[in-house]
Amino acid sequence: MTETVLPTRAEKRKFAIDMRALSPFIALIVLIIAGALINPDFLTASNLLNVVTRSAFIAIIAVGATFVIASGGLDLSVGSMAALTAGIMILTLNSQGSADMGTLALGMLAAIALSAACGLANGLIVTFGRIEPFIVTLGTMGIFRSLVIWLAAGGTITMRNLELRELYRPVYFGNVFGIPVPIIAFMVVAAIGALILYRTSFGRHVVALGSNEDVARYSGVPIWRVRTLTYIIQGICVGIAVLVYVPRLGSATPTTGLLWELQAITAVVIGGTALKGGIGRVWGTVVGAVILELVANIMVLSNFVSEFLVGAVQGAIIIIAMLVQRSVHRGR
């Protein structure tokens, strides 16, 4: 008798979890319908591809942020880190004369190495310094930002070699079978992220650490290592985002990546990851990043929102989207 009862229960619970994970996708569909009603041009393939391509930087960074936040941490330095990494990458490219693949590979390597090192620094200070991640990354945010301003002497760091710039340009503007390269990049990053978070013991350690640090410690989770690794993953994600960012405008300025940290955190939360840790949803995060970019796009395409009120309407839409998600949870 009991055997027949138990499976049905389990099935019910599984369905409920699916609903929760689905809610960002529902919000996305609602937004797309709203956009189509506001302006028919919204649904053109070129507009939608533009928007999804643009969301690539935040989406990739937010995949890393999903790890940090799911483990109960926070990284405010990602925007400044992206600017610094972009600056160093361009300076590396400029220091090499020739426009060939070797130069590009060197620049990319420099970018990933630097961003991983920045992440490692954040992680080590948080774990070994035993300081709140909010404070640590607020500090490194200022440090990274000042360094890029200093490197640029307040101006712009630009790729000088035009041939190299043309060689690199397809990484943002090119496509494979009609799909823009940045979209492929963030899908691959999200797939790898999901694999690590859901299918490895490290991923389970991250979530365990976020839901209850003490229990995780008593259960033998190597807390310091796991925590530091989440910041390194965040750093590497920033590096990958920069690889896609640099070919777009070929320059880094003191305003590059400004407020990206807030956008990344917003994307993570819209995606269903708990800000207090313990739950991580990689695919939801990606959808969250696309939602953010869609809202901005709909604002520009609409004719009835004055440019003075764009920020207010944007904020309201995000809050309403979150309320819709919550009501979906309750209605299960």
Partner 1 sequence: MKATVLKIAMAAGLMAGVATGAIAQQKNVTIGVSIPAATHGWTGGAVYHAQETAKALEKAHPGLKVIVKTSPDGASQANALDDLTAQKIDALVVLPFNSDELTDPVRQVKNKGVLVTVIDRGLKDPSIQDIYVAGDNPGFGRIAGKYFADTLKQGNIVVLRGIPTVLDDERVTNFEKAIQGSGVKILDRQYANWNRDDAFKVMQDFLSKHPKIDAVWAADDDMALGVLEAIRQAKREDIKFVVGGAGMKEMVKRVMDGDKMIPVNVTYPPALVATAMHVTAANFYTNAPMRGTFVLNAQLITKDNAKDHYFPNSPF
Chain positions contacting partner 1, by CB under 8 A: 39, 41-42, 44, 46-47, 50, 54, 149, 152-156, 158, 173, 248-249, 251, 253-256, 258, 296-297, 300-301, 307-308, 310
CB of 42: closest distance to partner 1 in angstroms? 8
CB of 95: closest distance to partner 1 in angstroms? 18
Give me the phi and psi of 253, to 5 degrees please.
-125, 165
Rank residues 5 and 153 by Cβ distance to partner 1 and give the closer one. Answer: 153
Report CA-CA distances (Å) from 213 to 73, 128, 325. 11, 16, 28
Rank residues 231 and 260 by Cβ distance to partner 1 and give the closer one. Answer: 260
Rank residues 79 and 107 by Cβ distance to partner 1 and give the closer one. Answer: 79
Strands (E), 117-265: 157-158, 175-176, 179-180, 251-252
Coil/strand/helix, residue 251:
strand
Pairing of strands 175-176, 251-252: unpaired
Cα separation, 204 vs 207, in Å, equals: 5
Amino acid at 207: V
End-to-end CA separation in angstroms for the chain: 27
The answer to whether the CB of 102 falls within 8 A of the CB of 83 is no
Rank residues 102 and 155 by Cβ distance to partner 1 and give the closer one. Answer: 155
Rank residues 189 and 298 by Cβ distance to partner 1 and give the closer one. Answer: 298
Rank residues 167 and 258 by Cβ distance to partner 1 and give the closer one. Answer: 258
The answer to whether the CB of 253 falls within 8 A of the CB of 244 is no
Rank residues 22 and 34 by Cβ distance to partner 1 and give the closer one. Answer: 34
Amino acid at 281: R
CB of 69: closest distance to partner 1 in angstroms? 24
Residue 70's nearest CA partner among 257, 289, 229, 287 is 229
CB of 19: closest distance to partner 1 in angstroms? 33
CB of 63: closest distance to partner 1 in angstroms? 20
* Element spanning 24, H or E: helix 2-38
CB of 230: closest distance to partner 1 in angstroms? 27
